[in-house]
């Protein structure tokens, strides 16, 4: 298994590691520890590079499975046991951390007003969309909600990462904001992201430490996608 440094320290951008295994068919490398986020929960995987001595290997894709975190490269693979250095594309990741945090804050605001669950979502650096089961939506809600969202972000709420035993997490249905629980059945510990006082949910992604790092956001568009189904698009303003 790989130690997932990104899971406890989102701000770690480089690491040294040892190659645990390689997969020649897929051109990918399993490392004993990594700062590379493999993607999930709507957040894209990191990109960046590994170095073996002076040789640079561009990481074009990152995935995870029961063996750990795989770094996909397009060049020759080092052998198991080799020491490597790795560094993520920080600008790309940090934009995703700000965007992801903004999306959780939006979940919190929508939950406060409507108690509506999320049905889907996706993001790219600086932009995100969340789908809600939101039958009571009216167009005039948009600007007050944007104002409320920005007020929460500007108030510098702490964003805390915690871990809960599975049975405790299952006993708190509010942690699962998606309409259907996406937690794998064999998961024994659940990672929880708490924007203190606003939103608390099970999540695997990377977020900023305080909401004022997000800056202000714009609710770009609210689309109606059918009965009760609303798609809210937001964007970072800088
Ligand atoms: Zn999330």
CATH number of 50's domain = 2.40.30.130
pLDDT computed for residue 169 by the predictor: 85
Distance 9 CA to ligand 1 centre (A): 16
Q: Which domain holds residue 213?
A: 93-236
Distance 13 CA to ligand 1 centre (A): 20
pLDDT at 179 over 60: no
Distance 73 CA to ligand 1 centre (A): 27
Distance 105 CA to ligand 1 centre (A): 10
Residues 112 and 170 occupy one common structural domain: yes
pLDDT at 213 over 70: yes
Among residues 88, 109, 131, which one ends one of the domains? 88
Among residues 43, 73, 88, which one ends one of the domains? 88
pLDDT computed for residue 136 by the predictor: 85
Checking DSSP bridges between strand 118-124 and strand 55-65, what pairing results, if any?
unpaired
pLDDT at 180 over 70: no
Give CA–CA dist 13/187, Å, rounded. Answer: 27
The pLDDT tens digits of the residues spanning 50-106 come to 999 999 999 999 999 999 999 999 888 999 999 999 999 999 999 999 999 999 999
CATH code: domain of residue 108: 3.30.980.10
Give CA–CA dist 183/187, Å, rounded. Answer: 7
Give the phi and the psi of residue 83 in degrees, each rounded to 5: -85, 135
pLDDT at 234 over 90: yes
Residues 161 and 51 occupy one common structural domain: no
More confident position, 74 or 176: 74
Residues 98 and 80 occupy one common structural domain: no
Residues 119 and 203 occupy one common structural domain: yes
Residues 71 and 167 occupy one common structural domain: no
Residues 110 and 128 occupy one common structural domain: yes
pTM, rounded to two decimals: 0.94
Residues 101 and 41 occupy one common structural domain: no
pLDDT computed for residue 191 by the predictor: 93
Distance 19 CA to ligand 1 centre (A): 29
pLDDT band of residue 182 (cuts 50, 70, 90) is low
Give CA–CA dist 194/65, Å, rounded. Answer: 26
Q: How many domains does the chain have?
A: 2
Residues 82 and 174 occupy one common structural domain: no
* Average confidence (pLDDT) over 34-56: 96
pLDDT computed for residue 178 by the predictor: 64
Strand stretches in 125-225, DSSP E = 127-133, 159-165, 189-195, 199-202, 217-224
The pLDDT tens digits of the residues spanning 183-200 come to 777 888 999 999 999 999
Residues 138 and 181 occupy one common structural domain: yes
Among residues 56, 88, 120, which one ends one of the domains? 88
pLDDT computed for residue 174 by the predictor: 78
The pLDDT tens digits of the residues spanning 104-162 come to 999 999 999 998 888 889 999 999 999 999 988 899 999 999 999 999 999 999 999 99
Distance 161 CA to ligand 1 centre (A): 12
* Average confidence (pLDDT) over 192-209: 95
Helix (H) or strand (E) holding 229: strand 229-236
Distance 176 CA to ligand 1 centre (A): 11
pLDDT at 217 over 70: yes
Residues 127 and 68 occupy one common structural domain: no
pLDDT at 207 over 70: yes
Residues 146 and 218 occupy one common structural domain: yes
Residues 137 and 219 occupy one common structural domain: yes
């Amino acid at each position: 298994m790989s130690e997932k440094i990104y899971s406890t320290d989102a701000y770690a951008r480089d690491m040294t590691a040892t190659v645990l295994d390689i997969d020649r068919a897929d051109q990918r490398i399993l490392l004993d520890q990594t700062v590379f986020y493999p993607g999930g929960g709507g957040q894209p995987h990191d990109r960046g590079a590994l170095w073996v001595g002076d040789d640079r290997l561009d990481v074009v894709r990152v995935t995870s499975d029961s063996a750990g975190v795989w770094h996909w490269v397009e060049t020759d693979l080092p052998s198991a046991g080799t020491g490597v250095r790795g560094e993520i594309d920080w600008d790309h990741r940090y934009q995703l951390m700000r965007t992801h945090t903004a999306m959780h804050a939006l979940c919190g605001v929508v939950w406060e007003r409507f108690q509506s669950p999320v049905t889907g979502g996706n993001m790219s650096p600086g932009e995100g969309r969340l789908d809600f089961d939101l039958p009571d939506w009216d167009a005039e809600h948009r600007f007050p909600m944007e104002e409320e969202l920005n007020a929460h972000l500007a108030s510098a709420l702490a964003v805390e990462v915690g871990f809960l035993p599975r049975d405790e997490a299952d006993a708190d249905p509010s942690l699962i904001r998606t309409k259907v629980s996406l937690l794998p059945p064999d998961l024994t510990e659940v990672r929880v992201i708490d924007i203190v006082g606003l939103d608390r949910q099970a999540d695997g992604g990377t977020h900023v430490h305080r909401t004022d790092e997000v800056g202000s956001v714009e609710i770009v568009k609210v689309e109606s996608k059918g009965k009760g189904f609303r798609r809210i698009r937001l964007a970072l303003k800088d």
